[in-house]
A and B are shown apart, each in its own frame.
Chain A
């Protein structure tokens, strides 16, 4: 722009004010426009908030967060952190947060595993496997999730036998009935922490073995096997420590007492129905994402790898999947976000997640609609932004390093 001959300056003359020159400067115009829009947004926000407060006052509605410290009074059917009816509403919020995260995290893990298997199966050369996977994806992907949750809950879990005729699996280690799934729990004794340390040390050693094996492979091209060493430090050493410290672990077996099985570790049917529905539904989408990712890797890559003499499994592991991940991660993030948000459908089948405990029960008992809706929205936003933040960091690492 700064050409030596500036025709513009001479035609408009020196009387052209600084103001008009500023008005035609795109940078300054940009700033002004942003300031105007920003002010309008702030004003609109102020209007809406003050109007809401005014309307609430006019209607005699009490506002504020003081209810958080008052006693909730109701019981919760499933909680991972301690909870009593005498606890406060803020505790209820925490219970809801933990329950939501619990089901979401497990569903994310299972959906990812299952989705990858299904996605790879769809590309299988075996006609039957490919067809079955395709049918699975199409059926699951094209029906509403809420409907699937009801099918699992009303069609499967409530139809299980009552406690007195429960299925006892693996000699009673696991119990399944229409009140839930029970598993024998391991109760660590006093000296169990020593075994714990042995396991952690084993993991650390295995990791080191792997690194040195890698280094050796890169230096010499020869990959040494460290399976025996790993087995020794991971299994044999902790087992020896465990026995030497006097096997400090007892088992709590679920047994029928009164109305139901007691003891052990238990999850209720709504949790199982929700977990399976979320896993199945999301895994179908993930399968498609995985398939698309694998197909986005050029055929030449596979052919080149095979012609170098890599076996098929290593071709997939070392050549295809690392490149496919670049196409898989971004859409995978949104599936994870979907799982967290979709877990709020729990409210339909009595799993006490955040929406059920907070937006339903607490909202009704405390009556603070605006405060409760706002905190719930804030929670989902924080979780979603953290998940996408974390995965974006990972994504940046697997993306092509262009130099």
Chain B
């Protein structure tokens, strides 16, 4: 399993890539492996306001439905329609084409308070 060291992570298994004030969010390799085959995504519409920790998306595998939480507060700017159409991208490329949504963050500093790669790896026992 891979965990890029350029990303920040949450204890609920989302990753965040910050570009200026734009945060791209997805689920980690560990999370997609636990969920198994992803078959459906309910993604937030652009324009929606997100508070940190709010359930923003639902990811469904054959096994179960799981909430995906906003790692930081802000406004949803985009969601990944390609992944919603081809849900296996979340399994095959969780940090790339399998991203879920982008948030324009109210406070970019909030991202640096998320877990770094070492902390996340230790959380998932890697």
Instruction: Tell me, yes or no, whether A binds B.
Output: no
Interface residues of A (CB under 8 A from B): none
Interface residues of B (CB under 8 A from A): none
